[in-house]
Structure formats: structure tokens, C-alpha cells
Amino acid sequence: MHTHRVSGEQAAAAPFPCEIAVDDMPVASGGHYKPGKAVTASVYRAKIAGHSRVVTVSWSRDLFSHAFAVTVTGADGASAECRVDLRPWQFWRRAGSRRVELSGGGGSTTVRVLWDLRRARWHGAAAGLPDPRGGYYVAVEAAGEVVLVLGDLRKAALRRAYPSAPPSLAAVPVARREHVFGRRRFAAKARFHDQGAVHDVAIECAGEGEDVEMAIGIDGEEAVAVKHLQWKFRGNQSVTFGRAKVEVYWDVHDWLFAGAAGGARPALFIFRPIVLSSASAGASAPLLSGVDGAAGATGFCLYLYAWKLD
């Protein structure tokens, strides 16, 4: 695994890696997450009724239930949300549809969310992923077109949405968010692309005072090592493995300098996958460079929020 590091002031001056800024990523009310509750969100850029919209599909899981929510937002401030709680005894909620109204863009658009989770296969608790791994679909339909289909039952989703047409332009994955909890070690099963393979990510901190160190491992290999973290609390580093390349960004300021409130605010780690160019060894292109639009030009990012426990 090869690395190239940029840290400190030089890293702080680097442009933000993704189209969706960190402040635009949806968070829970009040920004609080309980240990043991798995939360993730996937963000897509889609065209709805002729307007570019951001579609966020979030999943959560605790000891007793699953839940998912579909939120549609736009630059004009328009927003609509459909949330579904899936409790074990409420079998009728595992398949259904709901309509929400999206205002803006000179009018109102009806957005319909359809889902079928009756045969959904879920990740085990150890994986830390609350979204299904197969046997399901969640679809978003608006203005006579199915703009987004998630899951492996795509044909079933399109049949149910008929006579709405399949999307003329596929929704583009833009970002994914995961949350992990720990004291000095944070482990996650995460995807560097929305439909990519699951990788083991481990973040470890050691030391105290002016001698704090941090290491980030991917699939059991050390990818990033930072000494004197109190001086290098923000930075980025390129990691190359196989034919893939990932740019890793970190911001652990709140871990170190937030005082007693530090545990209430997470550190942020961003993984931006890019592919190596065959034209030149040093060049690289965004993973989604073949997709038209701004999201294709900037690529996909994984946001990993690491919450320190007391």
C-alpha cells in the first residue's frame, strides 16, 4: 500500500473534496447519537421534474427496530421527507408507498416513495450497517418517472411503479455517511462507493498530552500514521492499493480541543475513491468521471463520523 501525505496548514488550504459539503450532510435532530444505534445515509443527485435535486436515503437500527427515511431537497430551499419505522410486530409496514409534496421550482411536485422489505436480508449486528444487504427495493417516483431505485429487486420496483417510466438519466451517488463509536479504537464496515465492496476500516489513537498518535487501517493494513496529532489535527493522505486509490482526509480538532464537550462532537474522516489513469502514472480521475453533471466531476465521498465515548 503506497501513501502520499499532506498535513497541517497545507492540508487546511486544500479544496473540499466533495460536492456535498459537510454542513449539507443530514444529521439527526440535535446531532446526538446513542451508542448501539447504527445510522447511515446515502446521498444522490437526481433530476426531478426537470430540476436537479438531492435525494438522501438514510437507515437506522437499534435493538428493537429498523427505520428508513427518504428526503428530497433542492438549491431553492424546497424539501420533502418520508420516514418509515419498521417495528417487528408491524408486518404491514414492510411493504407500502407514501406520497409527499415537494414545493419550489415554480410549482409543486408529488413525490411517491415505494418500498418492499418483506424478504429483506439484513447485515448482522457486528457489521454495523443498518441498511439491507439484499432482497428488497426502495424506489422514488415523481412526474411520471422513477428517479431512483435502491436494492436488488429493481424489476419488481419498476413493475409496481408502472406506468411511470424508468429514469432517463440515472441518479448519481454523491456521498455516504457512517457513524462509529469508541474510546480509543473505532472500527467500521464501510463502502468507499455506494455499491462497492465492504471494507474494514479501523482508527486507533494512542498517547496523551503532547504525544498523541493516530493510525488508520484499511482491510488490516496501516494506511495512515500521524504522530504529534495535536499539531496535525487536520490533514489528508493518498493511499493506493491494487488499481484503486483513496484520498483520506481527517479533522480531529474537536477530539483534542473541545474540552469537556469533546465527547459530544465527533471527529470527521473522509474517504474519496479515485481511479488511477492509464495515461500517466501520476494522474488520476474521479471514480464517476464517466457520468455527466457536477457530481461526476467531483466524485463520491464516504464520511465517517467517529464519536468518543466517556
List the chain pLDDT tens, one digit each, 310 residues.
655 544 443 344 344 455 554 444 444 444 445 555 678 899 999 998 888 899 999 999 887 778 999 999 977 778 899 999 987 767 767 899 999 998 866 678 899 999 999 999 988 776 677 889 899 999 999 989 999 999 999 999 999 999 888 877 889 999 989 888 888 899 888 777 766 777 889 999 988 877 899 999 988 889 999 998 989 999 999 988 666 788 999 999 988 887 655 446 889 999 998 765 544 333 333 333 333 333 333 478 999 999 888 6
pTM of the model: 0.78
What whole-number distance in Å separates Cα of residue 224 and Cα of residue 248? 8
